[in-house]
Amino acid sequence: MLFLSQPPTLAMIAAVVIVRGVPFRPGPWMVAGVLAGLIGLVGLAAIYRGMAIGVVSVVSTIAATGPVVPVLVGLTLGERPGGLQLAGMALTLGGVALLAFDRRPAQPGRRLVPGAGLALIAALSFGLFLVAIRFASRPDAVWGVLATRAGSVSVLLLLGLAFRSRIKPRPPDLPALFAVGVLDVGADVFFAFATTTGLLSVVSILSSLYPVATVVLARIVLDERMARLQQAGIGLALTGVVLISL
């Protein structure tokens, strides 16, 4: 999926950079951008695999806790969240704890929900990605995103050459894969611009609201049903996100 959804977006961002006409100024932001691309690639691979073997709504909500990382970085840089934000972080972590265990009646005892480990890897990766892209966007947001795409697409092209015999997409899937790439790079661009005007901690947490749409779509499209423990976990995590954004 990543082999096909990511490369076209590099050309798209390059075209946007050319149209905007912002001059290229080399600097440390380039390293931050490439690192962001590589870290983000790990996160995407982890969350896509997690969704493939686990419950989409649970995996996506766990992965959405990644902004806790930039919040901590923001604190280190001097940002000071209020009481509601701190309470929100506690609720978010509590929600993750509930989401990570499956206690359905048919299966006594606790066991890790399929995909939960990958979701946690995705959360850490996305958190580090948000921090890196913030520094990559200092001279210009779109140049920063271009650097992230250059890093991720370079690795994907190398992997694609190595495993090209295993990449056999179905033609009907190509439009959806392209749409995934466009939406992904669009989210990166909006976040990059947001970091140039707002606090890293606040912007990062607001970016984690996407599970609301994922949970609703998983219920409507995939007819996913979760145990009450997971429902409570999602509720806690999303409530925490809302509190942090206030």
Q: What confidence score (pLDDT) does residue 189 get?
A: 92
Q: Long-range contacts: 79-82, Cβ < 8 Å, 24+?
A: 79/199, 79/200, 79/201, 81/201, 81/202, 81/244
Cβ(85)–Cβ(244) below 8 Å: yes
Q: What does the DSSP 8-state code read for residue 78?
A: T
pLDDT digits (tens, 9 = 90+) for 130-142: 999 999 998 899 9
Confidence of residue 3 (pLDDT cuts 50, 70, 90): low
Amino acid at 219: R
Angle at 238 between CA 236 and CA 240, to 5 degrees: 70
Amino acid at 110: R
Supply the mean pLDDT for the chain: 82
**Lowest mean pLDDT: which of 150-159, 169-178, 224-233?**
224-233
Q: Which two tokens stand for residue 106?
A: 């048919």
Greater confidence, 15 or 100? Answer: 15
Cβ(159)–Cβ(42) below 8 Å: no
Alpha-carbon distances of 136 from 66, 80, 92, 184, rounded to whole Å:
18, 23, 27, 17
Amino acid at 211: P
Residue in the block written with tokens 């779109």: 142
Greater confidence, 59 or 140? Answer: 140
pLDDT digits (tens, 9 = 90+) for 178-200: 888 888 889 899 999 998 887 88
Greater confidence, 105 or 1? Answer: 1
Cβ(13)–Cβ(185) below 8 Å: yes
Q: Is the pLDDT of residue 31 over 90?
A: yes
Q: Is the pLDDT of residue 110 over 50?
A: no
Q: Which residues pair with 112 in a beta bridge?
A: 101
Whole-number Å distance between alpha carbons of 45 and 114: 15
Q: Which of 59-73, 77-91, 146-160, 220-234 has the highest mean pLDDT?
A: 146-160
Give the three-state DSSP class for 112.
Answer: strand
**Lowest mean pLDDT: which of 22-26, 56-60, 208-212, 232-236?**
208-212
pTM: 0.77
Q: Is the pLDDT of residue 96 over 60?
A: yes
Mean pLDDT for the stretch of residues 88-100: 74
Q: Is the pLDDT of residue 54 over 70?
A: yes
Whole-number Å distance between alpha carbons of 238 and 244: 10
**Lowest mean pLDDT: which of 15-19, 43-47, 61-65, 160-164?**
160-164
